[in-house]
Amino acid sequence: MLPHLDAAYTLARYLLRSEDAAQDAVQEAFLRAVRHFDGYRGDNARAWLLTIVRHCCATARTRGKREDAFVEFDERLHSAHIESATPELHLVRSGAADEFHRALDSLSANDREVLILREVEDLSYEEIARTLGAPIGTVMSRLARARKRIQALVHRESRDAS
Amino acid sequence: MPADETHLRYLDRLSPYIDSELSAVESADVAAHLASCESCSAEYRHLLNTVESMHQQLPPLRAPAALRARVEASIRTPAAAQAARPIRVDRPYRGIAAAAAVVLMIAAAYGLGARTGTSSSAQMADAVLTAHVRSLQQGHLTDVLSTDQHTVKPWFTGKLDFSPAVPRLEADSFPLVGGRLDYVDNRVVAAIVYKRRAHVINVVTYPVEGAADVTPALETRRGFQIAHWTARGMAYWVVTDLNADELRTFCSLMRKADAGP
């Protein structure tokens, strides 16, 4: 029984573009969580774990094609970058869901992150602030801005389609 | 018709209003405005609609069974288990075979205990940081001003029910400045002050009964570096505006000196 595994997987899967990269990031995050248990401050295990997942995803993104991105070399990682920019998420998606995924993809990493933590992970502003290492005021304004952007993108897309 | 600026002020708060993240007063203020302003109210419905659609269209996911198995297997390996410090809890966790896999569960339980008992580590870090900032104000840094450990250490005698370690580190360019009594999180603590160039380093220390040793963990708060560890029944908090590397050096010197001959 692993607590918060679903939350960790959700964040990684939304932040990274391939299933394999997301699963690798989650595994790495749990390993780090176990190793760096000292850093746990005993108040919010989920936010703490998501902070680590977020770091692992950032590492996976920035290290890109380098083969030492994770503890174990994984051939499949190399294919991560040629896969679709839109995660499939193993779901049959409605047109509206596609719209949101495309819109998410075109946002900046900062905007995407804050939206996922709020709308998908359902974290409070305080938890988001902790996860991102940013003040609550920043979270508030970044989230408001990200929502406006995605609203404009989705709105434009549905207008274009009709 | 209110000025545009008024509308903007409300429009900026629609997002936290939807999340119930405004104070009760602010929230009531926004609600009152929405009831009387058609254009802001339309914006609010539009944003609420977007937020609700996102909730529906971007669902949380379930981790695949294969990933669950893989993660469970990987954190059970000897290397991972060894690195994970054993944490004692009062409640027995019956029926859970994979010891390493429950580390995070125990973390959650431990967290609940910590909240009801003494302050959490995060609160302590804040309290120590506040003490550091206070100490930087004119005349608050030291009660006993001395570069001599044999002056500083006895000064604490009779003022504290423990004797703090006051190692000399000037050979490593961390000269001792002095010490002071401080009051942090409802207890009297010893603060030993060192310097590195113009940077002040506060070492706050107090006894923690029966606490397991914890290796130093560094964090950054409000631009200050904080290190915390526990060794031989004493908790140490080091706060400074030095960079992390120099703080790490300082911590290892402190720990080496404390381990003693």
Per residue in B218-251, pLDDT (tens digit) is 888 878 889 999 988 889 999 998 888 899 999 9
Answer whether A38 sits within 8 Å of B101, measured CB to CB: no
Which has more pLDDT, A84 or B59?
B59
Of B51, B120, B217, the CB nearest to A43: B120
- First and final C-alpha spacing in chain B: 79
Q: Has the ipTM of the complex gone over 0.95?
A: no
A7, A121 contact by CB (below 8 A): yes
Average pLDDT over residues B173-200: 85
Assess A138–B contact: CB distance below 8 Å, yes or no: no
Q: Which domains does chain B have, with CATH numbers?
A: 4-57 (no CATH), 65-116 (no CATH), 121-259 (3.30.200.100)
Mean pLDDT of B178-203: 85
pLDDT at A69: 38
What does the pLDDT read at residue B3?
Answer: 60
Domains of chain A, each with CATH number or no CATH? 1-88 (1.10.1740), 91-162 (1.10.10.10)
Could you say which DSSP state residue A84 is in? -
Q: Using CA atoms, how far apart are residues B242 and B250, in angstroms rounded to an integer? A: 10
CB pairs under 8 A between A and B: 156
Alpha carbon of A81: minimum distance to chain B alpha carbons (Å): 20
Residue A20 above 70 pLDDT?
yes
Q: How far apart are CA A153 and CA A8, in angstroms?
A: 27
So what's the pLDDT on residue A150? Answer: 94
Contact residues, chain A, for B75 at CB < 8 Å: 30-31, 34
Q: What is the pLDDT of residues A36-90, one digit of tens each?
A: 766 666 667 888 889 999 999 988 888 664 444 343 333 343 333 333 334 444 3
The residues pairing with B189 across neighbouring beta strands, listed in sequence order, are: B182
pLDDT over 90 (residue A25): yes
Mean pLDDT computed over A120-135: 92
Q: Does the distance separating the beta carbons of B21 and A41 come in below 8 Å?
A: no
